[in-house]
Every structure is written in C-alpha cells, then in structure tokens.
Amino acid sequence: MRICIAGAGAIGCTLAARLACAGYPVNMLARGQTLELLQQQGVRLNDLDGEHQASVNASDSAVELGPQDLILVCTKAPALAQVLLQLQPMLHADTLVIPIVNGVPWWYFQGLESRFANESIQAIDPHGKLSELIPAHHLIGAVVFITATRRAPNHAESTNPHLMIIGEIDHRMTERLEAVRQLLEQTGIEVRATDTIRDQIWTKVTANLTSNPLSVVTGATLEQLYADPKLSPLVRQILDEVIQAAAAYGARIRFDPHTFMELGAGMGAVKTSMLQDHEQGRPLELAAIGHAVVELAERVGLSMPITRHVLALTEFIAGQRRPAASA
C-alpha cells in the first residue's frame, strides 16, 4: 500500500513513526522546518513502548509523492480546506482517505438516510467545499484516542495507550475497512472496526468539548479539569449538555457521567491540544469541536447555554492572545 500522512503534527508524527517502524514505507506531506527535519532526521516518537525513530519520504509536493492508496489526514480542522485541496493529485479511484481531525466531521450527514441527509454543517463546511474535494466513497471515518505532544517539529511524545476506532461512514462492515484495520494494527496501535462510527465520534466530541475550550480559559490540565472541585462541576454541566445533544441524534455514549469524569482525570497532567495551540498562537479548533456541536443541538431544538458561554470566553481569550503572538 502507498501510504501518506498529510500533516506532521503530534498525531501525524505518532502514526508515521509507528507505521515506519512496523516496516511500511511512509510518505509525509509537510513544509518548512518540519519538512527539513523529516528529510534530514526522519520521524521520532517516545511513547509507552519506548523510543521509535525511522526514515520517511517527506515532501511538500503532492504531485511529487504521486497517487496514494491510503491517506491519513492528520491536520487541524481550520487547515482542512487547504490540505484537502493540496491532496487532489494523490487521489485515484480507490484511494482511501481517513480524516483524523478533532470534532464533528464535515461528512456527518453523508452516508446515512436522515432528515438532514447530505446537508452541510455550516460551522465547518458552509459551502460544501470539503465534500466536493473528497467525495464520500473515498472516506473512512476515524476516532483517535491518542494524547500526544510535539517536542520538536519531527518529534512527538505520548504518555497514554494508543487507540483508534475506524468505521465506514454508511455504517457497513466492509472488506476494505477490515484491511485497513489489520494494516494499522500491525503498528502496535490498538485498532477497532465499528459499524457505528458516529457513536464513537460523539464520545470523542464529548471528551473534546468538556476539556479543550475550558483548558484555554483556565490553563488547566486534564486531571485538573475533571477532578478539581472548582472546575469539575462546570465540566459536568457541559458534559450533560453534550450527552443530551448526542442522544437527540440517536448516538450512544458508552460511559456513564461519573465514569467519564474519572477517566478524564485519569489522563493525568496532560495539556489539551487546544491549550497547546493557544500557547503557541495557533488557530483554535473551536468550529469543529464547539460551534458544530451547538449547531447540531440547535437543529433538534436544544440550546446548550453553558457550553455557549464557555465557547464565548474561549474566543475572547484567544482573541486577546493573537496580537501578542504575531508581534
């Protein structure tokens, strides 16, 4: 299989290192200093299994990398339109594209019959451009429970177990899904295939939305957010609102609220990806992680007032940070 990682952030480097160390030739689409380091030093990962380092074929040109059989899109949601446009020379008729992006996916209303079938989610794809760039037949959905931090442009560190859940967006169990599962599992990552990928999406969205925006407001780690008595009651209120929205779409979140809070606290003194982005002056994934969820809730008559207030605070704080970051 011709495999490409599009995006060399913490998750992209984690997957690239695991794939390359398992013996798969890995192409990486990157640019700038990241590209230079990948070409000179390869990709590095420190995780619970030790230190991994491997060579990859890195380029800033999709044309140079050529058609790919499997593309893992490991980018932040604000960069999706640009990255998916850049990927076009890599697509052939049977290319599989797995977006590994936080939040509600742009394809949420594709693949299944519903009252909102094939509609766009305005918060993340108002003009349907993402759906045009990557037609639905290319897509496999994914939810990645990997916490990773970037130590250098080509170096990631992860202190928790790796888990990926993948599924067809039409909820079928297919041969290609199983083939991808087996390939990824060879890397040592736990990979599960599911026929209800949207349940898993809501589970991850719940984790993202109860932690990421509030971490920017408070600077707190996951352990503090879910366990500190000053913060955890607010987290629980957001959790209740998200669970209600998920239930309105028929999704099943497999953890009760108490267990969910305990699992969040058990992640330890880890900064959320959104807090890391904020500290480095990068755009935040508020549209996919926050506003898209509020939009979905509004479509079924739910208001999510606490979540809205936290999102507004996060936007205000992020707006105060940007001038200093660019100065």
CA–CA separation, 131 and 139 (whole Å) = 10
Q: How far apart are CA 217 and CA 249, in angstroms?
A: 29
Choose one of 141, 167, 195: the last residue of a domain.
Answer: 195
Q: Is residue 326 part of a domain?
A: no
150 shares its domain with 222: no
Residues designated as active site = 204
Write down the pLDDT at residue 159: 84
In this structure, the dihedral spanned by the alpha carbons of residues 261, 265, 267 and 269, taken in order and rounded to 10 degrees, is 150
| Same-domain status, 185 and 247 | no
Q: Both 102 and 232 in a single domain? A: no
122 and 188 in a single domain? The answer is yes
112: left (phi over 0), alpha (psi -120 to 50) or beta: beta
Type and span of the H or E element at 182: helix 175-185
Which pair of tokens denotes residue 106?
């742009």
**Same-domain check for residues 29 and 139:** yes
Domain boundary among 169, 195, 221: 195
Q: What is the pLDDT of residue 321?
A: 72
Q: Which domain holds residue 170?
A: 3-195
What pLDDT is stored for residue 322 in this prediction? Answer: 59
Asked, for residue 111, whether it belongs to a domain, the answer is: yes
* Domain annotation covers residue 308: yes
> Residue 242: which CATH number?
1.10.1040.10
pTM of the entire predicted model: 0.91
Q: Is residue 121 part of a domain?
A: yes
Question: What span, in angstroms and rounded, lies between the C-alpha atoms of 84 and 64?
Answer: 16
Q: One digit per residue, pLDDT tens: the chain, 327 residues?
A: 999 999 999 999 999 999 999 999 999 999 999 999 999 999 999 999 999 999 999 999 999 999 999 999 999 888 999 999 999 999 999 999 999 999 999 999 999 988 999 999 999 999 999 999 999 999 999 999 888 888 999 999 998 899 999 999 999 999 999 999 999 999 999 999 999 999 999 999 999 999 999 999 999 999 999 999 999 999 999 999 999 999 999 998 888 999 999 999 998 898 998 998 999 898 999 999 999 999 999 999 999 999 999 999 999 999 987 544 443
Residue 246 belongs to some domain of the structure: yes
For residue 84, what are the contacts with CB-CB under 8 A and spacing of at least 6? 73, 130, 133, 134
Same domain, 218 and 283: yes
Q: Is residue 327 part of a domain?
A: no
Domain boundary among 195, 221, 243: 195
Whether 191 and 269 map to the same domain: the answer is: no
Q: What is the CATH number of the domain that holds 119?
A: 3.40.50.720
Residues 207 and 163 in one domain: no
Q: For residues 161 and 284, is the Cβ–Cβ distance under 8 A? A: no
Task: Indicate if 20 and 57 belong to the same structural domain.
Answer: yes
For residue 31, tell me if it sits in a domain: yes
What share of residues in the chain are helix, strand, coil (percent, to 5)? 45, 15, 35
Residues 160 and 60 in one domain: yes
**HSE-up of 80 (CA within 13 Å, CB side)?**
27
Q: How many domains does the chain have?
A: 2
- Quick one: 178 and 30 in the same domain? yes
Indicate if 43 and 132 belong to the same structural domain.
yes
